[in-house]
Amino acid sequence: MPSTVVSAPYAAMVIDARSGKVLHSRNADTRLHPASLTKMMTLYVVFDAIEKGEISLDSQILISRNAAAEQPSKLGLKAGSRIQLRYLIRAAAVKSANDAATALGEAISGSEAAFARRMTRMAKAMGMSKTTFKNAHGLTESGHLSTARDMTSLGRHLFYDFPEYYNLFSRRSTNAGIKTVNNTNRRLLGAYRGADGIKTGYTRAAGFNLVASAERGNERIIATVFGGRSTAWRNARVAELLDMGFDRAPNSVAVRKPSRPVLTPEGASDTPGRVIRTSGLVTRTPRPRLRPLEAPPEEMLIALQDGITDALAEIVRGDASTANPTPDIVPAAASEPVLTASLAGSLVAAPRPRARTLNAFASTAAAPTDQVDDQIVVTRMSTSGGRQWAINVGRFTTRHEAEKMLLQTALVELGTLDEALRKVVRSQQGFEANFVGLTAQTAELACRRLLAQNVNCHPMGPS
């Protein structure tokens, strides 16, 4: 951690975490550079995405050149390598690794810019009205600003909204996959009784920042400092603020957890609109309109007539081969029926056009050569052209179980498997449930989403 003295503005805030009551503040609403305090929101959004099933702790994250090129502090990730999401979380929370924070943002939102917009929307939903994020790591960037009040509120949300992950911030060191990393806040954690987090931050523009939380008995205090002069000065000032908090906080107070923020979709207005309340009851169900009846084309009539003739002839041949032919059907009754356009129009409704892939199909075995040119057969999308990947979602003892699993999985992950073909392959171990006809990218994305929903899945490349 650098020890250079800076002249960043000083701001501070102390609250009783149980009630949210402010016990001390100074310049708490001044917009300043948060530095790596930013990663508190990065991790909050990641925890929220895991909870919603968007991604899982076991997801293998591909490291981009952008993430690998981030400035220190960093874990040392290599472009093109893969690492589990859980290790990126540990590196960002404990080591304050910038490359890990960027990789987390790209894994959740596709790009760091999109992730920063999601962070800002989450901040607004949380009531952090003076906070705007431009990146996931906190390095100085124009417009990337927050306040001591907003960061203190964020620290309180982390503690109450995701208690299952909060212990990360108290670890003195942790395994981050490629190496063991030490906590940037280990000095305060080791020196102040009851301290168990949360996050440090430093840039030349921001100074030495810290959001710290400590618990003694049934009391919990959160203190924030922006613009510290050095690591030692910052830690000493935070210790003073925590002491002040414990002195001023009542011994017993009702715990009022903060309300969980509701993330608004990107592009939605931040200004609340007029609320229209409805009962939700259906009062009338209109009958659907009937499709207009139109006479089918002449080619269809010919095909229908040929089909009926062949069917009657097949029935006659089948009855003639039995010992007791049915008296109601005799060869004389197999005279060729005449299907007129008016009759067919009353029986067949012209379907509405649907978007499908149509391929011309010609087969000398199916029909005479002069009747094939006008026929069109609807086919599925070809699996060629890069669609040679597949995914496997399990092995089962019966074909029925495999087919059932394929149907259930297709309904769960319709977005990536809509154009895939369901295929059951029998092997010595049982029946394999596979989706085939996928690209490598689609297969990987489908498996990542299914694994996040606890559905077994692994991609299979071209054999």
Active site residues: 36, 39, 96
Can you tell me whether residue 296 is helix, strand or coil?
A: coil
Q: How many CA atoms lie within 13 A of 204 on its CB side?
A: 0
Phi and psi at residue 173, to the nearest 5° = -155, 165
Q: In what order do the strands lie in the sheet with 11-16?
A: 22-26, 11-16, 219-228, 207-216, 195-203
Yes or no: say if 453 and 53 are a contact pair by the CB < 8 Å rule: yes
Q: Residue 401 is inside which H or E element, if any? A: helix 399-412
Pairing of strands 219-228, 11-16: antiparallel
- Phi first, then psi, for residue 16 (nearest 5°) are -85, 110
Count of C-beta atoms within a 10 Å radius of residue 367? 14
Count CA atoms within 13 Å of residue 343 on its CB side.
7
Give φ, ψ of 372 to 5 degrees. Answer: -85, -30
Side chain identity at residue 153, one-letter code: S
d(CA 440, CA 62): 14
% helix, strand, coil for the chain, step of 5: 35, 20, 45
Cis amide linkage into residue 73, ω under 30° from 0 = yes
DSSP 102: H
Closest CA to 241 of 21, 37, 14, 26: 14
Strands 11-16 and 22-26: antiparallel
**Which phi and psi angles does 43 have, rounded to 5°?**
-70, -35
Torsion of CA 438, 439, 440, 443, to 10 degrees: -40
Amino acid symbol at 445 = L
3-state secondary structure 377-391: EECCCCCCCCCCEEE
**CB neighbour burial string for 60-69, b if at least 16 within 10 angstroms, e if fewer:** ebebbeebbe
C-alpha gyration radius of the chain: 33
The rounded distance, in Å, linking the Cα atoms of 218 and 211 is 20
